[in-house]
Homo-oligomer: A and B are copies of this chain.
Amino acid sequence: MTRMTDTHTTLALRLLQVTDDFRAGLSGELSAVHGISVNEFLLLLHLERSAANRLSRVDLAKRMHVSASTITRMAAPMEKIGLVDRAADARDARLVFVVATEAGRKRLSEALATFSKRAGYLFSDRWEDQEVDRFASMLRRLMAGSGDTLA
């Protein structure tokens, strides 16, 4: 019992550490090469992978673990530089959808290439393909109750 508790604790700490490392490196390259932050990248990715290629602000907020006001304030500059647009709902006048523009989808695609490159650096040198597959399915189990996810 104590042993597994410690193992779980170690595992969670390593998870935080590895993810923070990856995120820090990604952040630098995304902003330097593509001019967007990690959160802006993830926002575009959420849009791309949503059912109708558009999401309301509260929906985005829940998926991204940020407050609704953060989405409002993230979307504003992204609208200004033409990465996203806003759209109203025909039935519910409260909803304000965030929609990716053509430029936004292009930017996402470029940024995704950077993301994939870094993911490759992280895993391909150190894990066998078989391990990667196994790990991916294990992680999917962890996300079981997580609602709408990116992957």
* Chain A positions near chain B (C-beta within 8 angstroms): 4-24, 42, 45, 65, 112, 115-116, 118-120, 122-124, 126-127, 129, 131-133, 135-136, 138-144, 146, 149-151
Contacts and interface: CB of A to CB of B under 8 A. Distances in A.
A8 B16 CA distance: 18
Nearest to A149: B17
A21 B6 CA distance: 20
Given A17-B151, A132-B4, A141-B126, A12 B115 contact: yes
Contacts of A23: 16
A140 B7 CA distance: 12
DSSP class of A's interface residues: helix, strand, loop or mixed?
Answer: helix
A13 B151 contact: yes
Copies in the complex: 2
Contacts of A135: 11, 135, 138
A11 B136 contact: yes
Given A12-B115, A13-B150, 18 more contacts: A7-B132, A8-B116, A8-B124, A9-B112, A9-B116, A9-B119, A10-B151, A11-B135, A11-B151, A12-B118, A12-B122, A14-B142, A15-B18, A15-B19, A16-B23, A17-B146, A122-B142, A126-B141
A8 to B, nearest CB: 4
A5 B9 CA distance: 30
Contacts of A119: 5, 8-9, 11-12
A21 to B, nearest CB: 6
14 contacts: A4-B124, A8-B116, A8-B124, A9-B116, A10-B151, A11-B132, A11-B139, A12-B118, A14-B150, A14-B151, A16-B22, A122-B142, A123-B142, A126-B141
